[in-house]
Amino acid sequence: MPLFKKKPPSAQLDPAKIPRHIGIIMDGNGRWAKARGLPRSVGHRAGVGALEKITEYCDSLGVKALTAYAFSTENWSRPQNEVDALMDMLYDYLANAEKRLGGRNVRIRIIGDLAVFDSRMKDAILHAETVTAKNTGILLNLAVNYGGRREITTAAKRLAEKCKGGKLDISEVSEDALDKLMYTGGCPEVDLIIRPSGELRLSNFLLWQAAYAELWFSDINWPDFSEKDMLAAILDFQKRDRRFGKTD
């Protein structure tokens, strides 16, 4: 009698229906730490580890892009010590991208309003993007100082500037033209957005891109989010009937 009656979990996936682009709201780091009597910064570090693990797993499945909500435009209002800890972790991750990726075939891109960062952080951003630019695996978009409304506003301003400068006629303003100016320009459409930790909202994340994305929510805090949970999300995604406004 065979040891396993069922196929391994990953074998249940339909390769033709793997989401091309997944967005993740990495929520629950603070709650994870609090439940263990630990500082919030420890929860955020555990969250970085979860992101590395999930990025590698998504790459192995053939996901083309993963956009992770790392720091929002609203997160600056958190206690200064927490903000400082988050910025230190971000800098460390970017400045040591080769070591953190450990040979993984991941390409890093930082998206958001980056003008607020000092030269030290901007250098780290440039370093991470440069040293991973030739990698051919999954694209990891790290959304920092990111807000969906600000992204749309920025893209609209850039479009208006093109019209004002005579580079674009008003008749050429379209959804496609605006989409190309989003921070995620050039990426596949977002197929799936995942939010762990029990919250049931987008919190200003990928508002433009979420138009036809499937949403998947979980009570699991982000540091505990595993390959098994990602598999469950994708299996659920593959069962959904995505009509995009069309009839059956």
For residue 189, give both structure tokens. Answer: 């459409």
75, 113, 179, 224: the catalytic one is 75
Active site residue 113: no
Pairing, β 192-195 against β 21-25: parallel
Sheet of 65-72, strand order: 107-111, 139-146, 65-72, 21-25, 192-195, 214-217
8 Å CB contact between 41 and 85: yes
27, 59, 191, 229: the catalytic one is 27
Place of tokens 């600056």: 76
Sign of the C-alpha dihedral computed for residues 208, 209, 215 and 218 taken in this order: negative
**DSSP assignment letter at 154:** H
Give the Cα-Cα-Cα angle 209, 179, 129 (nearest 5 degrees). 85
- Give me the amino acid identity at 210: A
3-state SS of 158-224 is HHHHHHHCCCCCHHHCCHHHHHHCCCCCCCCCCCEEEECCCCCCCCCCCCCHHHHCEEEECCCCHHH
Active site residue 27: yes
Using CA atoms, how far apart are residues 32 and 28, in angstroms rounded to an integer? 6
Residues annotated as catalytic are 27, 75
